[in-house]
Chain A
Amino acid sequence: MIRVILPAHLRTLTKVSGEVAVDIAGVPTFASVLNALEAKYPVLRGTIRDHLTQERRPFLRFFACQEDYSLEPPETLLPKAVANGEEPLLIVGAMAGG
């Protein structure tokens, strides 16, 4: 089971509070987490990554185990602590404004 923390607006959109959890069959990569998230919550399609290119939306970032994985390729393996459910994957909206 992979734990994921969504940004507040996406928690509202998916009508969840707190963390969400997804199960992944096969190799646990960032792409497979997003695939599982979108399968469980179809409303997330297009909100985290582009429908067509599957690229991360520019103002979202992926953090795990206090590291920034935003620029890593989607097929990058999840850190072991995230893969085994000890730590969550954080999807974070960039802070902007002034």
Chain B
Amino acid sequence: MSSVQLLVGTRKGAFVLTADGKREKWDVSGPHFAGWEIYHVKGSPADPNRLYASQSSGWFGQVVQRSNDGGKTWEPVGNKFTYDGNPGTHKWYDGTQHPWEFKRVWHLEPSLKDPDTVYAGVEDAAIFRSTDGGQNWHELPGLRGAKGNLWQPGAGGMCLHTILLDPQHENRMYIAISAAGAFRSDDGGSTFRPINKGLKSPYELPDPTAEVGHCVHRIALHPSKPDVLYMQKHWDVMRSDNSGDLWTEVSGNLPTDFGFPIDVHAHEPETIYVVPITSDSLHYPPEGKLRVYRSKSGGNEWEALTKGLPQSDCYVNVLRDAMAVDSLDECGIYFGTTGGQVYGSRDAGDNWAPIVRDLPGVLSVEVQTLP
């Protein structure tokens, strides 16, 4: 029977939640790396026993951990992230130029084919690649060449938080950076270009349709239709049908189109999920009701999914990397909250139940569907 493993990064360690294919009873292991912020844990699609974890601390900096046995044991690998050449400067909060400074790894994206190749999205925004299982990291500086001098951090820092590898076009990847926007490479990461046409940010940017500077919170794609992209922007839920060349708004009837995560059903490329959050100054669900919204039409028409989720006095947030789907026949969907709950649905969002309720604040959730 298949099984499911959730890899949960929190403010105080990593947790691994496992269940068989019924997804009724869950075992919890952890905290791994207790006391450290675990921004992200992700398994290799090519070898599910190979996991990578980003472990960081305001005191001790960045550590990257690797597991070769599905998370039972871990070993630290390379943590030296040096920008290529003289990185120059980017725009600072006050509009002056500021040196590029490595702070932490937000996201680790293993290659689709090679367990030893993994990408890291870091703050200050850049993408690094390792081809030796995380021992050595090399920047792909072409990304900063895409007008990096104009990027300016948002309140959460200038983080590269999303890396999507296109399963049908080997050399294509998408990345997203808070307060800089979305970018695409068609040459394996040598060069990138902004893909922000159609985005409008009238409250954040002097030029609402600027080529860069949009606060993209998350982008997602379905492997069977990788030219269709979905985006949760600071405000606005967006869709592109041409690999990001042009975006259109699909917020439709959402109660608010501010939020962080967005994800796609494992088997239905037009079924997408978001978690509306009240506003940029009120990072909790509207009316204290935790609702996932689902669209089965690729956007615009949304339904609230509430069964099993708290519908009063709930004031948690769901962060951008904290939602994931499994690929069992009946798609499971999971998300973690800043209040330490991890909720799961075994039926594509119709019904929800807490898997754990009292973890530290959840930073990220990933799923492995295991044979």
Contact = CB atoms under 8 A, between A and B. Distances in A.
Contacts of B57: 9
A51 to B, nearest CB: 5
Contacts of B256: none
Given A43-B76, A45-B79, A52-B82, A57 B35 contact: no
B31 to A, nearest CB: 11
A17 to B, nearest CB: 15
A47 B82 contact: no
Interface string A4-22: 0001111011000000000
Q: How large is the interface on B (under 10, 10 to 19, 20 to 34, 35 or more residues)?
A: 10 to 19
A56 to B, nearest CB: 11
Contacts of A60: 59-60
Given A9-B36, A43-B76, A57 B59 contact: yes
Contacts of B310: none
Q: Is the interface of B mostly helix, strand, loop or mixed?
A: loop
A51 B82 CA distance: 9
Contacts of A43: 63, 76
Interface string B72-96: 0000100110100000000000000
A25 interface: no
Nearest to B57: A9
Contact of B61 (A7, A8, A12, A47): A47
Interface of A: 7-10, 12-13, 43, 45-48, 50-52, 57, 59-60, 93-94, 96
19 contacts: A7-B59, A8-B35, A9-B35, A12-B35, A13-B63, A43-B63, A43-B76, A46-B61, A46-B63, A46-B80, A47-B61, A48-B60, A50-B61, A51-B82, A57-B60, A59-B59, A60-B59, A93-B59, A96-B58
Can you list the 9 inter-chain pairs with the closest CB atoms, starting with the nearest?
A47-B60, A59-B59, A43-B76, A93-B59, A51-B80, A46-B79, A46-B61, A47-B61, A9-B35
